Structure 1
């Protein structure tokens, strides 16, 4: 039986791809200001448990289009794509293993994606986001809270989303054993943007 430690990290990582979450190019309708993602400060991460021990992994390649209207947040929209093959595990020698059919099957499904369907204000600086998350060819409706922070010309979008890896067939065959690798995976993202000069 294969070593479960590292492959499991990636399987859960692919689930994450929701979410969310996250990015490459952003634009805003309010105040006609353009936002551009700062990839050096942005991140998309997944955390899964192996033998009840939390294991973090990070996606190195992701992009997104976000149409954010600060004056009318409910009209905002977002779409995100994550490169499944860019997942970086704590043990890099297993990065190729998780791309196989039992896990992400990256050859057939190279991208994970999220497309928003609705957003609503929950409190100051917070939105409840709903949308469709697609991983390994399977699409599931999800929802999660989004925190928006503004500092000068910088706007960040932060969130975390728990998902079930088995719902997306991440970890097939012997890897379905949740006593080794937990079913729940948390996708965490922080997308930092910089505001450009207003469009006239």
Structure 2
């Protein structure tokens, strides 16, 4: 079965997955999160807006494609003053670089239900080749995609000036996604 995923999350609304069998994303269970440590304390922030366009057939993963566009101004840590700071020039510089983007170049199965999704990650005008380990599973009529990509924020100039001090905000960030889709 061939799955074509065209999903749009705008103001926390993600439209249906489109395939031979119509599916829809379960929003309360789907997310894109950036996890990091601030002064040694784990913190997670959620991106509230993103566009996900994916073609994936588990029997032909090499034919798959993924593109994710994330609205960086939608990053929400749960505090309005922090959210405003993260949009500033020092952090995401959302006015100059409104989106982060991942575009796949290949998908390879590494084990049953496990894939390496290779491609380019662009954040704040910097682009790097990355490989994202993804776990895909079917649960009755539900399709679940999970992955985590560790990055170094300073490689993308996220946190400039005094925020380059990694004792305040750690350099390591875990970009985590969890997409759950249910067949209609």
Structure 1 length-normalised TM: 0.80
Unaligned runs of 5+ in 1: 1-22
1:26–1:124 distance in 2 versus 1, CA, 3 Å: same
- The alignment partner of 2:27 has SS state of coil
Say if 2:144 and 2:180, in contact at 8 Å, map to a contact too: yes
Say if 1:24 and 1:63, in contact at 8 Å, map to a contact too: no
1:82–1:24 distance in 2 versus 1, CA, 3 Å: farther
Match of 2:119 in 1: 131
Unaligned runs of 5+ in 2: 1-13
Distance (Å, rounded) in 2 between the aligned partners of 1:24 and 1:158:
19
Match of 2:154 in 1: 166
Say if 2:16 and 2:22, in contact at 8 Å, map to a contact too: no
The offset of 1:173, in angstroms, is: 1.0
The offset of 1:90, in angstroms, is: 3.6
- The alignment partner of 1:70 has SS state of coil
Higher relative contact order (CA 8 A, sep 6+): 1
* RMSD of aligned Cα (Å): 1.6
Say if 1:26 and 1:65, in contact at 8 Å, map to a contact too: no
Distance (Å, rounded) in 2 between the aligned partners of 1:41 and 1:135:
25
Which runs of structure 2 are paired with 1:45-194 in the superposition (5 Å)?
Answer: 45-194=33-182
Size of the aligned set, in residue pairs, is 171
Quick check: 34-43 or 80-89, which moved more?
34-43
Distance (Å, rounded) in 2 between the aligned partners of 1:84 and 1:149:
28
